[in-house]
């Protein structure tokens, strides 16, 4: 009966929310926040490695009571684990370690919310979740399809994050506005349904349709570049278009109301020095996910 978190080398963790009024030990926590500052991208702007730290620093300002749901879920327990240090490993080894660590947490009954770091961390977590939830599907909010089979020869690149994820579960991809010809051509053969940013709003019920396309057990991955770049400029490869805060929260709320969300991640925060706004918004998003998870009553059909 394991009640301790998985062990690994680490610095002392920052805690989400700073000093919480009702802190919980690991064994009492319904959820854990796991920072994985993994960042091996060769993109134009590095910096996602700092994402978890800045998100956690900003989180001390997040109001614990949610005015929309009318609840403060933090007494359910949202312990922040130490950052994972994967610097010595190959990409393949790092993927395996992420998968086994998050799987162990799931076995201990935790709702795992991972904070990246780059998007490549998603596939092993989905692998762990799919092994525990048969028929799992994935809701992805993102600007990029990330469905390349390999990028610069590397199958575990962040540009291939969702292609790897497809090995474990089918996808519903929302907000997509960057996709390569290679990906577009292979699409019909893949287990994915794409809601393109340029035309998804032409159908007013697009949010309901996206949720309906998901199976009962759902993993949610949010690449922050899925949001409008005005709201969220602190990402490595911003794209014009994207979801508004209202669209994103509506999509998430309905998903939590109608499906069983088993784990989620928020990735690709790439902080801009001197500009705290994106860090606050990412922290608020993390807490919104936990609020929906523990504060909403699931609507049975």
Residues between 86 and 125 with contacts to a copy of itself, criterion CB under 8 A? 87-93
Q: Tell me 33's DSSP state.
A: E
Measured from the CB atom, the residue of 108 and 120 that comes closer to a copy of itself is: 120
For residue 243, give Cα distances in angstroms to 73, 83, 198, 201, 248.
Answer: 26, 29, 11, 10, 6
Binding status of residue 272 toward a copy of itself by CB under 8 A: yes
Measured from the CB atom, the residue of 6 and 241 that comes closer to a copy of itself is: 241
Q: Cβ distance 159 to 151 under 8 Å?
A: yes
Least distance in angstroms from the C-beta of 244 to a copy of itself: 9
- For residue 65, the SS3 value is coil
C-alpha dihedral, 287 to 293 to 295 to 300, nearest 10°: 150
Q: Which range touches a copy of itself (CB under 8 A), out of 36-44, 130-138, 160-168, 214-222?
A: 36-44
Measured from the CB atom, the residue of 197 and 265 that comes closer to a copy of itself is: 197
Cα 2 to Cα 259: distance, rounded to the nearest angstrom: 28
Binding status of residue 246 toward a copy of itself by CB under 8 A: yes
Binding status of residue 213 toward a copy of itself by CB under 8 A: no
For residue 83, give Cα distances in angstroms to 47, 114, 135.
Answer: 15, 10, 30
Binding status of residue 284 toward a copy of itself by CB under 8 A: yes
Cα 296 to Cα 84: distance, rounded to the nearest angstrom: 30
Q: Could you say which residues in the range 123-152 bind a copy of itself, by CB under 8 A?
A: 152
Q: Could you say which residues in the range 52-91 bind a copy of itself, by CB under 8 A?
A: 57-58, 60-61, 63-65, 67-68, 70, 72, 83, 85, 87-91
- For residue 94, the SS3 value is helix
Q: Which range touches a copy of itself (CB under 8 A), out of 23-31, 124-132, 216-224, 238-246?
A: 238-246
Q: Which range touches a copy of itself (CB under 8 A), out of 22-30, 163-171, 202-210, 226-234?
A: 226-234
Cα 121 to Cα 99: distance, rounded to the nearest angstrom: 9
């Amino acid at each position: 009966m394991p009640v301790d978190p998985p062990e690994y080398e680490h610095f002392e963790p920052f805690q989400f929310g700073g000093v919480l009024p009702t802190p919980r030990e690991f064994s009492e926590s319904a959820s854990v926040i796991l920072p994985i500052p993994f960042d091996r991208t060769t993109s134009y702007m590095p910096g996602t490695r700092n994402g978890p730290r800045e998100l956690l620093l900003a989180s001390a300002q997040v109001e614990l009571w949610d005015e929309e749901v009318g609840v403060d879920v933090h007494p359910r327990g949202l312990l922040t684990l130490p950052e994972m240090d994967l610097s010595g490993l190959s990409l393949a080894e790092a993927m395996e370690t992420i998968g086994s660590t998050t799987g162990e947490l799931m076995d201990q009954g935790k709702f795992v919310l991972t904070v990246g770091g780059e998007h490549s961390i998603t596939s092993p977590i989905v692998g762990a979740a799919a092994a525990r939830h048969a028929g799992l599907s994935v809701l992805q909010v993102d600007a990029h399809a990330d469905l390349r089979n390999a990028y610069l020869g590397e199958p575990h690149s962040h540009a291939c994050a969702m292609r790897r994820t497809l090995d474990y579960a089918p996808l519903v991809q929302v907000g997509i506005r960057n996709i390569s010809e290679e990906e577009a051509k292979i699409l019909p053969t893949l287990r994915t349904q794409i809601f393109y940013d340029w035309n998804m709003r032409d159908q007013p019920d697009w949010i309901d349709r996206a949720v309906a396309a998901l199976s009962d057990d759902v993993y949610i991955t949010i690449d922050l570049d899925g949001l409008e770049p005005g709201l969220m400029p602190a990402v490595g490869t911003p794209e014009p278009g994207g979801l508004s805060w209202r669209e994103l929260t509506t999509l998430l709320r309905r998903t939590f109301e109608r499906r069983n969300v088993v784990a989620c991640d928020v990735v690709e925060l790439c902080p801009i020095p001197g500009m705290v706004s994106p860090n606050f918004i990412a922290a608020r998003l993390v807490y919104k996910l936990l609020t929906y998870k523990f504060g909403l009553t699931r609507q049975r059909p």
